[in-house]
């Protein structure tokens, strides 16, 4: 039983395309997140949702749009992909101060 | 504002030797502290956390960390490492008044035979 699952695991696409990454958690957590990990392994928060409500929206291009249809799902849609969007995107969930549970990541490569 | 500094980007060590991975933080409020491990091509896994109480925290895989409030540090230690401990290790802090985690830049632990 995977606690936080992301799909797809790998995504290769051309510049200018639109793509989505899906995330689902079965832990009953209230809060979900999207993080971007760059080539130097630096982790940067992008968005956070609590019970379907956006609570953290860092300085991210508005080509990135999160959507949370319910508290178990947080999807990330990216419009007009650019080379600099290439990274590993991690979904995570948490409940209060118990720490994050991470998904296994989506490696996005824009060519 | 919060920040997390991992002083070593890479730590090479021989198998069965002890290791310490350093983490310092700054925060204007009290914090909760965490260490995560990332194996190649995988997500991050929680190693241990400090919320309150005893400043020495034990985690999985034989790791432990000590919270030092005066030095604002949360260093990770293991008395004897294995080849399988080779991974990237991330220190993270969460302010007590807001559910947002701040990660350090990571330390790559390379255990050699």
List CB contacts (< 8 A) between A30 and chain B: none
For chain A, positions 50-69, list CB contacts with chain B under 8 A.
50, 55-56
Higher local confidence (pLDDT), A28 or A2: A28
pLDDT score of A80 more than 90: yes
What Rg do the C-alpha atoms of chain A give, in angstroms? 13
CA distance B35 to B94: 11
**From B49, B99, B103, residue closest to A43, measured CB to CB:** B103
The DSSP code for A62 is T
Instruction: Note the pLDDT tens digit of each residue in B3-40.
Output: 999 999 999 999 999 999 999 999 988 899 999 999 98
Per DSSP, the three-state class of A85 is helix
Can you give the pLDDT at residue A105? 93
Distance separating the N- and C-terminal Cα atoms of chain B: 41
A43 in contact with B, Cβ within 8 Å: yes
What value does the mean pLDDT take over residues B56-72? 95
Mention every residue, 6+ apart, whose C-beta is less than 8 A from residue A63: A78, A79, A80, A81, A82
Can you give the pLDDT at residue A59? 77
The DSSP code for A9 is S
From the CA of B105, how many Å to the nearest CA of chain A? 5
- The answer to whether the beta carbons of residues A110 and A14 sit under 8 Å apart is yes
> Taking CB atoms and an 8 Å limit, are A105 and B42 in contact across chains?
yes
pLDDT score of A81 more than 90: yes
The DSSP code for B83 is G
Instruction: Note the pLDDT tens digit of each residue in B95-106.
Output: 888 778 889 999
What value does the mean pLDDT take over residues B81-97? 93
A41 in contact with B, Cβ within 8 Å: yes
Can you give the pLDDT at residue B88? 96
- The answer to whether the beta carbons of residues A74 and A87 sit under 8 Å apart is no
> Taking CB atoms and an 8 Å limit, are B88 and A41 in contact across chains?
yes
Q: How confident is the model at residue A98 (pLDDT cuts 50, 70, 90)?
A: low
CA distance A26 to A94: 11
- Tokens at residue A39, please? 């080539």
The HSE-up count of residue A70 (CA atoms within 13 Å, CB side) is 5
List CB contacts (< 8 A) between A31 and chain B: 99
List CB contacts (< 8 A) between B44 and chain A: 43, 90, 92, 100, 102
**What integer best gives the mean pLDDT of chain B?**
93
Of all residues in chain A, the one with the smallest CA distance to B34 is: A99
**How many of the other CB atoms lie within 10 Å of CB of B73?**
18
């Amino acid at each position: 039983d995977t606690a936080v699952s992301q799909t797809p695991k790998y995504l290769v696409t051309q510049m200018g395309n639109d793509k989505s990454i899906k995330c689902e958690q079965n832990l009953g957590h209230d809060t979900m997140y999207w993080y971007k990990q760059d080539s130097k392994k630096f982790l940067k928060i992008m968005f956070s949702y609590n019970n379907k409500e956006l609570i953290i929206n860092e300085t991210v291009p508005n080509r990135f749009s999160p959507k949370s249809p319910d508290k178990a799902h947080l999807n990330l849609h990216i419009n007009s992909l650019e080379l600099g969007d290439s990274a590993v995107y991690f979904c995570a969930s948490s409940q209060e101060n118990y720490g994050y549970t991470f998904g296994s990541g989506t490696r996005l490569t824009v060519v | 504002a919060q920040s997390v500094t991992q002083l070593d980007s890479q730590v090479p060590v021989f198998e069965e030797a002890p290791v310490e991975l350093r983490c310092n933080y700054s925060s204007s409020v009290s914090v909760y502290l965490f260490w995560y491990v990332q194996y190649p091509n995988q997500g991050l896994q929680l190693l241990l956390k400090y919320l309150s109480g005893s400043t020495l925290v034990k985690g999985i895989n034989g790791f432990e960390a000590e919270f030092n409030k005066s030095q604002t540090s949360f260093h990770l230690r293991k008395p004897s490492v294995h080849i399988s401990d080779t991974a990237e290790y991330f220190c993270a802090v969460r302010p007590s008044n807001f559910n947002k985690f701040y990660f350090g830049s990571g330390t790559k632990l390379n255990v050699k035979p």
